[in-house]
Amino acid sequence: MEQFIYTLQTARDTYSNVLVGILRYGAPILAGLLLLRCLKSLLTFRREPEIWAWLCLDDGKKLPITHWENVIGRSKRSDIVIREPSVARSHGVLTRYDNGAWTVTASDAAKSILVNNKKTRHSLLTPEDVFTVGGVQMRLEPITPQQEKKLAQLRTKGSSFTTSLWNVILLTVFQALCCLAYLMSGQRETAQTVLIGFMGLMVMEWLLLLFYVCIHRTSFEVESIAFFLSTLGMNAVAAVVPGEAIKQLFAMGLGLVVFLIVGWSLRNLERAKKIRYIAGIAGMLFLLVTLIFGTEYYGAKNWLVIGSFSIQPSELSKVCFVFMGASTMQRLMKKRNLILFIVYSVALCGCLALMNDFGTALIFFCAFLMIAYMRSGSIGTVALAITALLFAGVMALRIAPHALQRFDSWRHIWEDPLDGGYQQTRALMCMASGGMFGLGAGRGWMKNLFAADSDVVIATICEEWGLVMVMLLIAAVVGLALFVVRSAAVARSSFYTIGSCTAAGIMIVQVMLNALGTVDVLPLTGVTFPFLSNGGSSMLCAWGLLAFVKAADTRQNASFAVRLQKSGGGSDE
Amino acid sequence: MNRIASRATALIILALLLVAGFGFFLVEYFTQSDNWVVHSGSPHVYNGENIGCGVVVDRDNTLLLDMLEGRTYSNSAPLRQSTVHWIGDRYGAISAPAISHYASELAGFDRLNGVYNYGQTGGVAQLTLSAAMQTAALEAMGAYKGTVAVYNYKTGQLLCAVTTPTYDPDNVPQFSEGDSQYEGLYLNRFTQSAYIPGSIFKIVTLAAALETDPTITQKSYACTGSYRIGNEEITCEDPHWNQSLKDAFRNSCNCAFAQIALQLGGETLQQYVEKFGVTDRVTFDGITTAQGNFQAAGQADLNVAWSSIGQYLDQVNPCAFLKFMGAVANDGRAAAPHLVEEITVGGSRTYNAKTRFDQPILSKETVDILQEYLKYNVTDKYGAENFHGLTVGAKTGTGEVGGDKKPNAMLAGFVEDESLPLAFIVCVEDAGYGRAVCVPIISKVLEAAGQALK
């Protein structure tokens, strides 16, 4: 390897200019192509209604049941609409389980649901059972195992193995070129770590693809996007702190493990519902431990240092928080109030405020808003929460006016370019210098700037790889969010919809705070860009959140976080 | 589930906010990135106080300064000394406003490619200056302090503009504060000074008189060596007796010009000085020159008389006066001076100077007479043999500065030659008579011009 690196570096002067000249256009084309392939299949897959059972009414009418969780009610927005005055707007919930069983649940004790003439709050339903909802008699007729098998076959397939293979090949070529560019421009001492960093990344994605093949899953778009972002993260590491490439690779590896674990726990809804409580407690504990034993860096006490190892537990709390916020329809209908969840959220935000970590607190707050809205559907709740935040903010500023200082230079960075606006003015100067296609790998100045690989990482990417690449980065995250919104229509449980929307929401908010903070559209808060920013905890969190996104992918054979539907009632584990 | 699914659209709003925020940035990027990239301290354009990219060459592509990798100056010490006030030093003591002004073009910045250029070569800024003329002028100035400048009145190209005292940026001298040898060392006297003009200002007074009353050429003026105004006198060193206007101009007769000034009146004189722009600031290539001064309106007769011969409160900036001489030489229309001719980056031209002409300030008749009189000065007084066969019109001046200092020696003029359309100015501080000090200096510079430009 030594010899290889040496040969590369002596050829540097001759070939590096040529390589940069080619990569300026080649890199965005490759990245754009990859992204286009991924987003096309994520955003255009057909969402056909799936019929899981029929509801046979007294008058002989048969209503199709198209979800696993169905609200029965008079309201137009119910999943099963029964226009009878005796039926409440949201009367009850019909739920299908993994094993094909069905239950009916009344939304509250006052609502009358009779199963075989016995009043019940929650009851298992068999095809023989006659049940009454608000005086309307009906019977549930689940689809036959043959029909279910047919349904599974007809369901839109996830992208084929060939498509995924090509995506990974594209990704690998992109990574190889990035790696080559940094090897030819970088220091000799750090070349080996950079090489290992990129090679490791390639090995990781091929191993994951191989694993998917083994468990009969073929879709790789969401992962491709994550690896694409990680590759540019590795670029930033190679440009700014090449010595940390192996550390970052290790973080990515751990992140992948977190992704698989969270995904596995989401596979079985019953299991996920139980893990939810453990996650809730863990999320709180992470913060409490940090609050007590944490170390303060740059004004925020959000680091836990154990020997030579340091993590930001608040990042892991984010994943736990998403778990905690997700909920099934049945539960949502039974327990309408959010009080417990609000108390939990306030406690988390309180811990973060005590840790002085306002950036993370803001992300939790946005996640809270997302969850609160998803669960209640009430704009009023959201407005109330925002008002409460404003009050808290005003109070906080009265108590600690120095907190305002960090916003002093916001939109005024050019008035104080050597002090308050230093970081952002340099970032903008370098971004402008890079233009649309960048100056080339390793030719940037950003490495001299504080947090060039984390808080202001997009400026580093823009300087060396161009503004087009930054736009692709943002498009990638926006694409994930749009995919989550699209797949919400065919989701099996509101648990997954709320979870995936919150996870994608957190990513969007982080990108917003990070990217727009760097370019002075928003104040700079020191929030990380998912997958892109250098930092282990942030990487773990990003992969953890991605598992929720992956769990929303119900296409046939698409997601390891969704069980394969084999034949009637059965599914693999 | 329908409800939850429709609530997922909240995420679209978040995503739209992100896209809108980034769109807002893109608008800022496309409207302001050219300012960001050349803002002081921009890492790819500046190196400390100075621009850190590109190469500066003279009109014949002689290297003056390579700004990449620190700063490498020309290998000729006289050339370094004679150009340091235009291209700046290493430590920011002397700035280079004309080069900073084109930072964006030098860096080759455009919104598509940023400052990228193949092989990381910087831009090349070609100045209008001639290295040969610069070094000749530096040598001619010797130990004097002052400035000598020559420009092409048809194109506006500044061919030579040397300021002294100067120093070698590669060999910075040790000097203490108050060391008179290095007084005003960092000053570019051509752009940043204003001198008491003395008799070269008579060109302005004469132009004003000709514009007001064309028949003045027929008049004759008596000089007994002094001219009484109230209780005071305007004096000449020797009496010139009875003389025509042309001779009075050649003789630089103070008494005659005092009479002309009083005939015109302070207000008229003031009006013309303002019309000619002699005291205005001149702006080119990001440089703005020092302001001159002229206050005759509403003044007592004696002061008006002194003002008309370049004393009293008169001050002129050499560049502004040179431009006025350009108007005299070029049928009343001055070409505005410029220093940077063109900038190329990697084979493509990012800047190319265009000649700008001001509105005519003198009538054809006035110009003809002024040119005739100025040429007469040379042939009849300063000696045509000093100008190597060139047809030259000029006027010397001696600006009394008072105190224990010798007067400023001044000279302004032009060359009447299709292939060498040059206007020039020489200002030498603490020197003595204009003719004795300045004529030899410009003689050497014009000789170099003849060789360098033909």
**Contact at CB, B109 and A428, closer than 8 angstroms:** no
CA dist A492 and A469 (Å) reads 35
Per-residue b or e along B259-280, where b marks 16 or more CB atoms closer than 10 Å to that residue's CB: bbbbebebebbbbbbeebbbbb
Residues B225, B219 contacting (CB under 8 angstroms):
no
What pLDDT score does A295 carry?
Answer: 86
Residue B293: is it exposed, middle or buried by C-beta count within 10 angstroms (0-12/13-18/19+)?
Answer: middle
Residues A406, A369 contacting (CB under 8 angstroms):
no
Nearest by CB: B11 against A467, A485, A489: A485
φ, ψ for residue A97, nearest 5 deg: -110, 170
How near does any CA of chain A get to the CA of B74, in Å?
Answer: 26
CA dist B180 and B404 (Å) reads 14
Band (A513; pLDDT cuts 50, 70, 90): very high
* Residue A425 touches chain B, beta carbons under 8 Å: yes
Instruction: Determine the residue among B6, B12, B13, B18 to mutate to test chain A binding: the one whose Cβ has the most chain A Cβ atoms within 10 Å.
Output: B18
CA dist B424 and B325 (Å) reads 8
CA dist A484 and A552 (Å) reads 7
Question: Between β-strands A69-73 and A80-81, what pairing exists: parallel, antiparallel or unpaired?
Answer: parallel
Q: What is the pLDDT of residues A110-163, one digit of tens each?
A: 888 899 989 988 999 998 899 999 888 999 999 888 888 888 888 877 788 899
3-class state of residue B433 by DSSP: coil
CA dist A331 and A322 (Å) reads 16
Nearest by CB: A485 against B9, B21, B111: B9
Q: Within 10 Å of residue A393's Cβ, how many Cβ atoms?
A: 12
What pLDDT score does A569 carry?
Answer: 38
The residue whose two tokens read 């090995």 is A203
CA dist A161 and A165 (Å) reads 6
Nearest by CB: A474 against B2, B22, B43: B22
CA dist A52 and B160 (Å) reads 91
ipTM: 0.94
Tell me the C-alpha to C-alpha distance, in Å, between residue A471 and each of A367, A432, A522: 24, 14, 17
Band (A568; pLDDT cuts 50, 70, 90): very low
How near does any CA of chain A get to the CA of B68, in Å?
Answer: 14
Nearest by CB: A373 against B10, B25, B114: B10
What pLDDT score does A400 carry?
Answer: 67
φ, ψ for residue A540, nearest 5 deg: -60, -45
* Residue A501 touches chain B, beta carbons under 8 Å: yes
The residue whose two tokens read 């929650």 is A122
Q: Which of chain A's residues have a Cβ under 8 Å away from the Cβ of B40?
A: 417
Instruction: Determine the residue among A368, A433, A508, A548 to mutate to test chain B binding: the one whose Cβ has the most chain B Cβ atoms within 10 Å.
Output: A433
Single-letter amino acid, residue A336: R
How near does any CA of chain B get to the CA of A318, in Å?
Answer: 17
How near does any CA of chain B get to the CA of A401, in Å?
Answer: 28
CA dist A282 and A301 (Å) reads 19
What pLDDT score does A403 carry?
Answer: 62
* Residue A519 touches chain B, beta carbons under 8 Å: yes
φ, ψ for residue B72, nearest 5 deg: -110, 120
DSSP letter for each residue of A358-421: HHHHHHHHHHHHHHHHHHH--HHHHHHHHHHHHHHHHHHHHH-GGGGGGGTTTT-GGGSTTTTT
Question: Between β-strands B123-127 and B55-57, what pairing exists: parallel, antiparallel or unpaired?
Answer: parallel
Closest CA to A199 of A185, A182, A179, A183: A179
Band (A231; pLDDT cuts 50, 70, 90): very high
CA dist A363 and A502 (Å) reads 11
Q: What is the pLDDT of residues A244-287, one digit of tens each?
A: 999 999 999 999 999 999 999 999 888 998 899 999 999 999 99
Q: Is the pLDDT of residue A308 over 80?
A: no
3-class state of residue A356 by DSSP: coil
User: For chain A, what's the residue count?
Assistant: 573
- In chain A, whose CA is at the least distance from the CA of B16? A478
Q: Which of chain B's residues have a Cβ under 8 Å away from the Cβ of A516?
A: 18, 21-22, 25
* Winning range, highest mean pLDDT, from A144-148, B121-125, B235-239: B235-239
- In chain B, whose CA is at the least distance from the CA of A515? B22
B-proximal residues of A, 309-368, CB under 8 Å: 329, 366
How many Cα atoms sit within 13 Å of A518 on the Cβ side? 35
Sign of the C-alpha dihedral, residues A150, A151, A156, A159? negative
Q: What is the dihedral of CA A442, A448, A451, A453, to 10 degrees?
A: 10
Question: Between β-strands B63-66 and B72-73, what pairing exists: parallel, antiparallel or unpaired?
Answer: antiparallel
Q: Which of chain B's residues have a Cβ under 8 Å away from the Cβ of A380?
A: none
Minimum mean pLDDT among A119-128, A352-361, B143-152: which range? Answer: A352-361
φ, ψ for residue A3, nearest 5 deg: -65, -40
What percent of chain A is predicted at pLDDT more than 70?
Answer: 95
**Contact at CB, A370 and B21, closer than 8 angstroms:** no
What pLDDT score does A566 carry?
Answer: 53
Nearest by CB: A67 against B1, B15, B114: B1
Average pLDDT, chain A: 89
Q: Which of chain B's residues have a Cβ under 8 Å away from the Cβ of A434?
A: 114, 116
**Contact at CB, B37 and A432, closer than 8 angstroms:** yes
How near does any CA of chain B get to the CA of A348, in Å?
Answer: 23
**Contact at CB, A497 and B5, closer than 8 angstroms:** yes
* Residue A371 touches chain B, beta carbons under 8 Å: no
CA dist A290 and A301 (Å) reads 8
Between residues A49 and B148, which one has the greater pLDDT?
B148
* Residue A433 touches chain B, beta carbons under 8 Å: yes
CA dist B242 and B248 (Å) reads 9
Residues B370, B203 contacting (CB under 8 angstroms):
yes
CA dist A304 and A294 (Å) reads 5
**Contact at CB, A522 and B21, closer than 8 angstroms:** yes
Average pLDDT, chain B: 92
What pLDDT score does A337 carry?
Answer: 66
Q: Is the pLDDT of residue A327 over 90?
A: no
* Residue A485 touches chain B, beta carbons under 8 Å: yes
Closest CA to B209 of B262, B145, B147, B286: B262
Nearest by CB: B36 against A377, A429, A439: A429
Q: What is the pLDDT of residues B31-72, one digit of tens each?
A: 999 899 988 888 888 877 677 788 999 999 999 999 876 789
**Contact at CB, A481 and B14, closer than 8 angstroms:** yes
Residues A530, A245 contacting (CB under 8 angstroms):
no
Q: Which of chain B's residues have a Cβ under 8 Å away from the Cβ of A511?
A: 18
Minimum mean pLDDT among A266-270, A280-284, A474-478, B88-92: which range? Answer: B88-92
Token pair of B242, please? Answer: 């009875």
Q: Is the pLDDT of residue B397 over 90?
A: yes
Please give the average per-residue pLDDT across A358-374, as a whole number.
89
* Residue A488 touches chain B, beta carbons under 8 Å: yes
Please give the average per-residue pLDDT across B95-113, as a whole number.
87
Nearest by CB: B12 against A69, A485, A519: A485
A-B CB pairs within 8 A amount to 174
CA dist B256 and B242 (Å) reads 10
What pLDDT score does B29 carry?
Answer: 96
Q: Helices B131-141 and B434-453: crossing angle, nearest 10°? A: 160
Q: Is the pLDDT of residue A406 over 90?
A: no
- In chain A, whose CA is at the least distance from the CA of B108? A433
* Residue A263 touches chain B, beta carbons under 8 Å: no
B-proximal residues of A, 77-96, CB under 8 Å: 77-79
Sorted by where each starts, the structural domains of chain B and their CATH numbers stand as: 46-128 (no CATH), 135-335+354-453 (3.40.710.10)
**Contact at CB, A484 and B22, closer than 8 angstroms:** no
**Contact at CB, B119 and A471, closer than 8 angstroms:** no
User: How far from the centroid of its chain's Cα atoms is residue B218's Cα?
Assistant: 35
- In chain A, whose CA is at the least distance from the CA of B111? A435
Q: Is the pLDDT of residue A407 over 80?
A: no
Instruction: Determine the residue among A428, A443, A484, A545 to mutate to test chain B binding: the one whose Cβ has the most chain B Cβ atoms within 10 Å.
Output: A428
- In chain B, whose CA is at the least distance from the CA of A328? B1
Q: Is the pLDDT of residue B166 over 90?
A: yes
3-class state of residue A336 by DSSP: coil
Single-letter amino acid, residue B261: A
